[in-house]
């Protein structure tokens, strides 16, 4: 397992991050703990959870699994979603942040969080209030670094500008949906993150399971992709374009003697700007398959074919820039 620095920080994280959203739900407690231990044995140090995953049970299991090795683990969790049935039970106001961090610390059985992330933008709370509260948590030692998730590019840039103007701590990372079948971040976010040195830790790097190769064009009756709403709905995943991308993944997998999941993850691992894809696994079999994405390099010609097959169609202003704003020639 290789390590990368997260954003412009000095925090070293493993090239894969173990996501724990299913821990305590579709993944049993015993298998969840085994996965964390095996992940660490294979060199991984980066774990991601959230205070709302399985109503907090995910945090409890993670805390139990790392209690003997806390200092060796980079622990990430999140705040924003509804955790109580009252007006201040959601969002990223100072009140909800301060309440939520104490609850997460208790469930995780630790006195600090390495990476505390805003789960989604809060339109009701000024970003200045949010960042000041997060800055106070870093000053107090309860949080080491801060990040965000599911932001628009303008929201991230506004946050960074606010931090710089007020000398608050900066977001060092963003956690967006990003995969061969979800490349919307290429429009603006990826170039912003490269420019501002913000680490990108994608969720759903296998498209909610679509890129594992288990699915055909027939609508599934079991699994995550049976959802009728949300990012893992079959209406979003089971498109002709996505199946064309999946065909390219299958072709690459056969040529490389790898599984489709390993190919899809390896493509991300070699993409400029990506720090650490967050993979989840409901079973130990899936965990072992995903871990096979590290330790080898995809040939450039195959990487390029996958990149071309999954690229977004040309859009303004990129079309305009490519045609009329080419760099000046030195000749």
Dist CA 105 CA 73 (whole Å): 15
Dist CA 190 CA 233 (whole Å): 25
Residue 256 parent element (H or E): helix 240-256
Buried b (16+ CB within 10 A) or exposed e, 183-193: bebbebbbebb
Dist CA 107 CA 113 (whole Å): 12
* Interacting residues of 134 by C-beta distance below 8 A, sequence separation 6+: 97, 116, 118, 143, 146, 168, 169
Q: Which residues pair with 149 in a beta bridge?
A: 175
Among 53, 145, 168, 178, the active-site one is 53
Dist CA 135 CA 284 (whole Å): 38
Q: Using an 8 Å Cβ cutoff, are 178 and 185 in contact?
A: yes
Dist CA 298 CA 214 (whole Å): 22
SS3 (DSSP) at 233: coil
Is 316 among the catalytic positions?
no
Backbone angles phi, psi at 58, to 5 degrees: -60, -45
Catalytic residue list:
53
């Amino acid at each position: 397992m290789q390590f990368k620095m997260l954003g412009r920080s000095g925090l070293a994280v493993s090239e894969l991050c173990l996501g724990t959203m299913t821990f305590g739900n579709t993944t049993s407690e015993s298998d969840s703990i085994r996965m964390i231990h095996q992940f660490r044995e294979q060199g991984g140090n980066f774990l991601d959870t959230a205070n709302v995953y399985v109503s907090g049970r995910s945090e409890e299991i993670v805390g139990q699994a790392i209690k003997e090795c806390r200092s060796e683990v980079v622990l990430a969790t999140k705040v924003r979603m509804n955790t109580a049935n009252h007006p201040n039970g959601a969002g990223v106001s100072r009140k909800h942040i301060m309440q939520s961090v104490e609850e997460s610390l208790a469930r995780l059985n630790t006195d600090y969080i390495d990476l505390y992330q805003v789960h989604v933008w809060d339109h009701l709370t000024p970003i200045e209030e949010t960042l000041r509260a997060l800055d106070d948590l870093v000053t107090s030692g309860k949080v080491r670094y801060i990040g965000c998730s599911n932001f628009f590019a303008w929201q991230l840039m506004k946050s960074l500008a606010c931090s710089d103007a007020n000398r608050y701590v900066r977001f060092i990372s963003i956690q967006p949906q990003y995969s061969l079948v979800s490349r919307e971040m290429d429009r603006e976010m990826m170039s912003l993150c490269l420019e501002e040195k913000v680490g990108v830790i994608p969720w759903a790097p296998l498209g909610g399971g679509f890129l594992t190769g288990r699915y055909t064009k027939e609508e599934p009756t079991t699994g995550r992709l049976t959802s009728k709403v949300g990012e893992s709905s079959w209406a979003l995943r089971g498109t002709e374009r996505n199946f064309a991308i999946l065909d390219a993944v299958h072709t690459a997998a056969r040529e490389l003697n790898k599984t489709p999941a390993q190919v899809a993850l390896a493509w991300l691992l070699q993409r400029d700007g990506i720090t650490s894809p967050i993979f989840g696994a409901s079973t130990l079999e899936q965990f072992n398959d995903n871990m096979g994405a590290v330790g080898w390099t995809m040939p450039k010609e195959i990487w390029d074919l996958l990149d071309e097959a999954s690229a977004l169609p040309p859009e303004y202003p990129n079309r305009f820039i490519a045609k009329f704003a080419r760099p000046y020639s030195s000749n």
